[in-house]
Amino acid sequence: MSGEPNRVVLADDHPQLRAMVRDALEAGGFEVCAEAASGPEAVRLAQQHDPDVVLLDIHMPGSGIKAAADIRKLLPATAIVMLTVSRDDRDLFDSLRAGATGYLLKDTDPARLPAALRGVMSGEAAIPRALVARILEEFRAPARPRFGRRSKAASRLTSREWEVMELLADGSTTDEVAKRLFLSPTTVRVHVSSVLHKLRVKDRQAAIDLLRDDRS
């Protein structure tokens, strides 16, 4: 119904910060329809309330990034914005991969939050200028070598198996790959075992070497 305030689910494990953000959003014409203190609770409340925006802390219990990915799958029309102290490149890029269209720092003036959220809902990306520069640097950097897919055996790998092997080739551990792809470590190991079987090699390093030799 037109004229109704935009609805927000606010998730952060610090009650005082939630109160400050809630006050700023309500002063700016938003309705905070629910508050959560963990990632799983944020997902549950987002499903329950179907808000216009979900505002997520990254490092709350249960992972805000994992919550963002789950909400993106369940509610593709809901805007997702991260609110965090982290300026770490990995947190930024993992948030964007998970489906966030905003990445705001907690030192942002609270009075600016309503305008930032309205910008996201209108199709803009709410990201501080310093972090935008990092995104541009990432895209301007020389592309890392990718695996080839010319051999008959390699062509049988699934897209998920390619993602797993390319992250492993970059030096990521099984646990790091699991975190990046929102999988369990056991599922990552299953994908690796499947790759070894398809390529008929004995270990992951042999698989990586074979795939690198097969580059176009």
pLDDT interval class at 18 (50, 70, 90): very high
Reduce the DSSP state of residue 175 to 3 states and report it.
helix
**Sequence letter at residue 63:** S
CB contact at 8 A, 42 and 11: yes
Q: Is pLDDT above 60 for 73?
A: yes
CA distances from 66 to 51, 87, 102, 106 (A): 18, 18, 15, 19
Pairing of strands 102-105, 53-56: unpaired
Q: For residue 136, what pLDDT is reported? A: 60
Question: Contact at 8 Å (CB) between 11 and 62?
Answer: no
- Collapsing DSSP states into helix, strand and coil, what is residue 52? coil
Express each pLDDT in 181-206 by its tens digit. Answer: 778 889 999 999 999 998 889 998 99
Rounded to whole angstroms, the Cα distance separating 53 from 50 reads 9
Please check whether residue 194 is in contact with residue 161, taking contact to mean a CB–CB distance below 8 angstroms: yes
d(CA 137, CA 144): 14
Instruction: Supply the pLDDT for residue 1.
Output: 42
More confident residue, 180 or 82: 82
pLDDT of res. 216? 41
What's the CA gap between 177 and 41, in Å, rounded?
25
pLDDT surpasses 90 at 74: yes
Query: What are the tokens at 213?
Result: 């030799």
Of the candidates 65, 75, 58, the residue with the CA atom closest to the CA atom of residue 7: 75
pTM of the model: 0.64
pLDDT mean over 4-15? 93
pLDDT band at 17 (very low <50, low <70, confident <90, very high): very high
pLDDT tens digits, 83-139: 988 887 778 888 888 889 889 888 888 898 999 999 888 887 788 766 766 666 666
pLDDT band at 212 (very low <50, low <70, confident <90, very high): confident
pLDDT at 133: 66
pLDDT tens, residue by residue, 20-56 = 999 999 999 999 999 999 999 999 999 999 999 999 9
2-6, 78-82, 184-188: least confidently modelled range: 2-6
Q: What is the 3-state secondary structure (H, E, C) of 67-122?
A: HHHHHHHHCCCCEEEEEECCCCHHHHHHHHHHCCCEEEECCCCHHHHHHHHHHHHC
